[in-house]
Structures are given as C-alpha cells and as structure tokens.
Amino acid sequence: MKTHVIEKKNADLFFVEGKGYKARKNLKTQGIFVGDKIVLNEKEGVIEKVLERKNYIIRPPIANLDKMFIVIAPIPKPDFYLVDKLIIFCKVKGIEPTLVVNKTDLMSEKEILGIKNIYSSFLKVVFVSAEKGDVVKLKKEVKGICAFAGQSAVGKSSLINAIFEEAREKVGLLSKKVERGKQTTRVVCLHHLGGKNYLADTAGFSKLDENLLNIEKNEICRYFDEFIEFLPKCEFNSCSHIVEKKCGIKDALKLGKISEQRYNSYVKLFEVLSGKGR
C-alpha cells in the first residue's frame, strides 16, 4: 500500500506533490492535517484513508512530526529553560529533538564549547550560521517530517530560507522566500526535500506552557537524560532532588557531572508543576 504525505491544505483541497485532492465525504476534512499520511485513490482523485498519527502539534499545525530543530543563538540571550522544556516536549510526543546553535559567526570558541559540554552527551547539536549560508550540516539533519522551534529572533526564518535556497540551487526546488518577521497566521506548508524528508516552512513554539508537557512533577527527572544514571543513589524513590540530604542528583551536581544550568531548569520546572513557580 503506497502512502503519501499531505504537504499543504487549502480549504477542502489537500496537496500531495503539488497536486490538489479532495477527501472522501466520510472523512472529516477539518481533522486532516498537513503531515498526515494518507492513501490516495489516484483514479478518482480522492483521499481514501488517513492513517493513524504518531503525534500532532498545534502550532504550527503538523501531524507526524519526526524531528524538531530547537534553535538558539548568542543574541537574543538563550532561554535554556525553554530549550529544556522543548526537549521534554519532544520526548513526550515521540519527536527527535536536535539543538541548532545559529549565529556562530558571532560566537567565540569558548561559547561554542560551553554549549557542547552541556548538551552533546545526550543530544545532537549542530552549529550553523544562516548569515554565512553555513547550513549544510543542518540540511543533512532533515530526516522525515521536520519543523523549527525556538525564541523569537534566533534566526529560524533565516535558517528555513537558507535551507530552501540551498535546496533550490541543488535540485531546482521551487520555493518562494518565507516572509520574514511577519506574525500573520498562515497555513503551514511542508516542503519536500527529497525521499521521505520534509521541512515545515514556518516555525513554532517561541514559548511553551508547562501544562502542555502533561507530566507529573515526580516524573520530570526521568526526562533529563543525563540525570538518569544518578537516580538510584537517591535515598527516596520519591526524591524531589531539591531538599533531600542524600540525593544522587545533588551529589552529581556538586561533582560537576550535571550542569548547573540543566539542574536549574529541572528545579524551575518542578516548582512550576508544583504550583510554586512562575
């Protein structure tokens, strides 16, 4: 059975490889998302069936997201709490997170190393510069259905444009420039970059409400990958890793095996989910 991916949606028309199709009447068309995998009846030119989704997100509205590029830059100052929340969000949703550090043209080796030291043991980290057109490493990471997330002004639109620019030069992909800086609500569109690889032309999540994570405060520590090996050293199973005396996480922090920055994100999230933070 051959399946296709919805790349664009316009009223009741769904686009697959540039061609518009209607859906069978029994399918609720408002429930079909860009990214949905579908079975086409080419003869009749209709969508026959929508396959079960692995996930979907609302902003941008995409189904079956495989990978999220979480973008940071030296300017504006990185919001690592947002980064760490987005990593958890990805885990919850079955999305592979990748940390993209943009504007490396403005960074020192020391700054680059600082980020590597914290994240690269448990996360793919790529360093790029949209300004310099240095995005090949990022383009190679576009596997499956991918979208960008991150604070405003870190360069998400610039990176999307740079990747499309590169793709257009290489394979003659037709694409218009993504509009920069405009906060208009527009429908998301997936650009096919060959094979099963698609990139959303718009970014999401410049903020993330903690409630969207849908996890209990006592589960948070299990979403911080580098914490897991130290959990058995906590005296209590229900350890909050904040006030307890005999705590594997706090010991690891003291020994520099867990970064202060990541631990601070953990504490902040724990407090927010306890109703204390914000």
Which residues form the interface with ligand GDP (CB under 6 A)? 102-103, 105-106, 129-131, 152-158, 180-181
Q: How many helices (H) and strands (E) does the chain have?
A: 6, 14
Question: Minimum distance from CB of 134 to ligand GDP (Å)?
Answer: 8
Nearer to Mg ion, 84 or 201 (CB): 201
Give the residue, chosen from 87, 247, 258, 269, that forms a contact with Zn ion under the rule CB under 5 A.
247
Nearer to Mg ion, 98 or 151 (CB): 151
CA distance to 76, 115, 259, 266, per residue, from 244 (Å): 36, 29, 19, 15
Nearer to ligand GDP, 153 or 228 (CB): 153
Helix (H) or strand (E) holding 160, with range, is helix 156-171
DSSP state for residue 177 in the 8-state scheme: P
Check binding of 220 to Zn ion (CB under 5 A). no
Both structure tokens of 229: 């090996």
Binding partner of 234, given ligand GDP, Mg ion, Zn ion, none, CB within 5-8 angstroms per partner class: Zn ion
Binding partner of 163, given ligand GDP, Mg ion, Zn ion, none, CB within 5-8 angstroms per partner class: none
Check binding of 34 to Zn ion (CB under 5 A). no
CA distance to 177, 247, 262, 264, per residue, from 257 (Å): 44, 14, 11, 14
CB 6 within 8 A of CB 34: yes
Question: Minimum distance from CB of 48 to Mg ion (Å)?
Answer: 36
Check binding of 157 to Mg ion (CB under 5 A). yes
Residue 234 has a CB neighbour count (10 Å cut-off) of 19
The site for Mg ion (CB under 5 A) is made up of 157
The site for Zn ion (CB under 5 A) is made up of 234, 239, 241, 247, 249
